[in-house]
Chain A
């Protein structure tokens, strides 16, 4: 390494705008993927737990297929296959779509696990007092399931931030790609990879801490 810390700060200052934009795109892509993936995942989880066989079996196939495929392959496939199929998506949209699909299979499994942990007698009790299924879900099952789901769900959020780095491979200007562009101009590999790693760490560490907080809050006192 033949450059000083002052040089690094100088280059960092020059690159501040693209790097900050990169952070913004990283957070935006992860957040969009989490929101879309969670909405989709709740339906997947419901279908897996209460769906009739014609709905449940395709959903099982969907989650098993997505969970058995590396995220990088999902990202590349989404970007290249949709284009061939005539759906022209930019790298950002294709990448977020892949992340959302990945997220939905994980959330689906989390939701299924939480719903199955609720004792069957409760559904029977709800039926006995004449609640419809949607009433049972909203006022009996969901409040209990959310308690179980939230801590794990926050972890999934951190996973999505980490997985969003894969979008840099299809050319989305996230924090990683922005850092790589600075590196290809300055050849300062070490400091800028460390810097990017540190920023990702800071974001995820914050999420992890928040997860701990949620876990404490939702913990059922015994």
Chain B
């Protein structure tokens, strides 16, 4: 192998990669914010007393979780315009990732809700709180603390899924990396740097979640 690594072309366009990473993060934050809302509603529905709500939420989760995200991305971007819903790349991708993350986060929240002891809810009832108050100020916070580890890993994996936005020409990190490749042919160097940017971001996110977890842990 007589290939000499030369990172000059990558460093020249490094600001483009960083901009791409910024957009990747923005896509992830936007989608996950909506996804958490969807996930919370579905999570509560999955443990609801009403069979219809449970079944509806279960169908949503099953369908989304068993469909590849690339198919969802292409479907929203290329097929929904047939129904009159024409979205730009960024909006289209955020919508897709939000719908997708909602299903995964719903499972996370469901597991968290099941882990909250029943007695806590009964105690809330005993002091005369409404069901809404119990969920919002007792069960919800307890559930959030229980799910932090799995919430963290789900969010990191959703962040990695933003790379699929490159397929519909959203200029995030992977898209910028491919562009540099086309212009410079320095594929090895570009993919090394792009991967390291992803790995670095994931490591920072993981450390951040561990920090929050420690801060919120029950003191013993």
Question: Does A84 lie within 8 Å of B187, measured CB to CB?
Answer: yes
B97 to A: closest C-beta gap in Å: 13
Residues A73 and B163 in contact, CB atoms below 8 Å apart? yes
Cα distance A11–B63 in the bound complex, in angstroms? 25
Q: Find chain A residues with CB under 8 A from B167 CB.
A: 72, 169
Task: Contacts A65-B199, A73-B198 given; indicate if A165 touches B78 (C-beta within 8 A).
Answer: no
Contact B63 A168 (CB under 8 A): no
User: Does A58 touch B at the CB level, under 8 Å?
Assistant: no
Interface residues of A (CB under 8 A from B): 1, 64-65, 67-73, 76-77, 80-81, 83-86, 158, 161-163, 165-166, 168-169, 176, 180, 183, 189-190, 193-194, 196-197, 200-201, 204-205, 208
Q: Does A70 contact B1, Cβ atoms closer than 8 Å?
A: no
Residue in A67, A83, A166, A197 whose beta carbon sits within 8 Å of that of B67 in the complex: A197
Evaluate contact between A197 and B75: CB separation under 8 angstroms.
Answer: yes
Q: A208, B71: Cβ atoms under 8 Å?
A: no
For chain A, what secondary structure do more than half of its interface residues adopt (helix, strand, loop), or is it mixed?
helix
- Contact, CB under 8 Å: B1 / A85: yes
With A64-B199, A69-B198, A80-B187 as contacts: A189 and B66 at CB distance below 8 Å: no
Pair A205/B66 contact, Cβ less than 8 Å: yes
- Selected A-B contacts with CB under 8 Å, 8 pairs: A69-B195, A76-B174, A76-B178, A77-B187, A80-B188, A85-B1, A197-B75, A200-B71
- What separation, in Å, do the CA atoms of A168 and B63 have in the docked complex? 22
**A200-B66 in contact (CB<8A):** yes
The answer for the CA separation of A137 and B83 in the assembled complex, in Å, is 58
Hey, which chain B residues are within 8 Å of A208, CB to CB? Answer: 62, 65-66
CB distance from A68 to the nearest CB of B (A): 4
CA distance A193 to B70 in the complex (A): 11
Decide if A72 touches B181 in the complex (CB within 8 Å): no
Q: Counting CB contacts under 8 A, is B26 at the interface?
A: no
Find A193's partner among B3, B66, B71 (CB 8 Å cutoff).
Answer: B71
**B143 interface hit (Cβ, 8 Å):** no
Residue interface mask B1-38, A partner, CB < 8 A = 1: 10100000000000000000000000000000000000
